[in-house]
Every structure is written in structure tokens, then in C-alpha cells.
Amino acid sequence: MILAITGTPGTGKTSVCKALGLAVVDLNNVIEERRLYTGIDTERGSFIADLEALKEYLSQEEKAVSIIESHLAHLLEPEVAIVLRANPTVLSARLTQKGFPARKIAENVEAETLDIIIAEAVVLCAVVYEVDTSEKSIEEVASVVREIIDTEIEGVSRTKKALRDCYKPGSVDWTHLFNSVFGFND
């Protein structure tokens, strides 16, 4: 079973994965270290991931359960995707603090506002959870993510259903921020 922790950059994926205390495959490191990319996007300063090569790499890992992390993780069609979300205003502040250039901040805030990753995950993944990280500590989010992982691996159907209902796709909605994010006046 492959479980993905995904979300727009700045939603807390890496910090949450460190707090989990579990073995997590950082796909961004794998892409770079194993040269699983088809080129470099010079405008964004990032690698263009070779998704087929990444899928092949994961299939060779031969683990009963693999937890993968990246803003691309859901594109590998895992059985379970946990999509971390953040209020676009909070996301902008986090990315600014990390030193992201203004253009990258705007691109990521736009993607978060428009639900890009959650929409892709719903199409590509069998089970999708959506967790808002905006007003939670890393430990609180890690606790929720750990509960989801444990339930998906070992939980009973009734527990899975309750948890899936609690964190179902569409439970996080930033549309009320659309005008402010995109600079439209009322």
C-alpha cells in the first residue's frame, strides 16, 4: 500500500512528516538524487519529474506500506492521499518566511485557492483526505495524519468511514478569499 502526503508547497508536508516519527520517502530528494527527471524548468528553478520513473522506483521498494511525501505524490496514484491545505493568506506568509520569490508565492497561493492538488488527488487516488493546517501546530497535524495512516493500515471499516467523513475532500474551502487573492474588487 502506498500512502501519499501531498499539498501545495508551504502547507506543512515536510514538517509534519518529520514529526510523524515514521519512515517517509521524500520524493523531491529521490528525484534529485536518482536523477528521475526529464529536464529543468528554468523559470521555476525546479526539476521536471519523470513520473513513470518514480512509479518504477516505488514499485522496486517492496515494502508492505510506503509513505511518500511531495507536492507531486498524489500524481503517482497512491491508494490513499492525505492532502494538506492552508489558508492562502497563511500560505503566503509561510512561503515569504521561507524566502520564496514573489512569483512562486503567487503561483502557489493561486494553486491553493483554486484547489488544484485536491482536485487532482480526487481524480487519481482511491481514497483522499483533506486536512487544514492553517491554525494547527505541526504536532496537531502530525497527530491527525498519524491517526489517518494507522486507521488506513489497520483500522476497521466503521472507523475508516468516520475518519474519511471527517476529512473528506471539499471540507476545506477558500472560495470566499477568491477576490482578495486575485485582486478583484467587489
102-152 residue pLDDT tens: 999 999 999 999 999 999 999 999 999 999 999 999 999 999 999 999 999
Q: How far apart (Å, rounded) are the C-alpha atoms in residues 4 and 69?
A: 6
Indicate if the pLDDT at residue 69 is higher than 90. yes
Indicate if the pLDDT at residue 100 is higher than 80. yes
Q: Report the predicted TM-score, pTM, of the whole model to 2 decimal places.
A: 0.92
Q: pLDDT category, 45, cuts 50, 70, 90?
A: confident
Domain assignments of the chain as residue spans, ordered by start? 2-87+117-174
Q: How far apart (Å, rounded) are the C-alpha atoms in residues 70 and 144?
A: 18
For domain 2-87+117-174, the CATH architecture is 3-Layer(aba) Sandwich (3.40)
Tens of pLDDT along 46-67?
899 999 999 999 988 767 788 9
Q: Please give the C-alpha separations between residue 21 and each of 14, 32, 131, 132, 151, in angstroms, as whole numbers.
A: 12, 23, 19, 21, 16
Closest residue by Cα to residue 174 from 81, 90, 50, 64: 90
Q: Determine the pLDDT at residue 185.
A: 61
Helix (H, G, I), strand (E, B) or coil at 70: coil
Indicate if the pLDDT at residue 160 is higher than 60. yes
User: Backbone dihedral region of 66: left (phi > 0), alpha (psi from -120 to 50 degrees) or beta?
Assistant: beta
Q: Determine the pLDDT at residue 178.
A: 67
Q: pLDDT category, 184, cuts 50, 70, 90?
A: low
Q: How far apart (Å, rounded) are the C-alpha atoms in residues 151 and 80?
A: 11
Closest residue by Cα to residue 68 from 81, 53, 56: 81
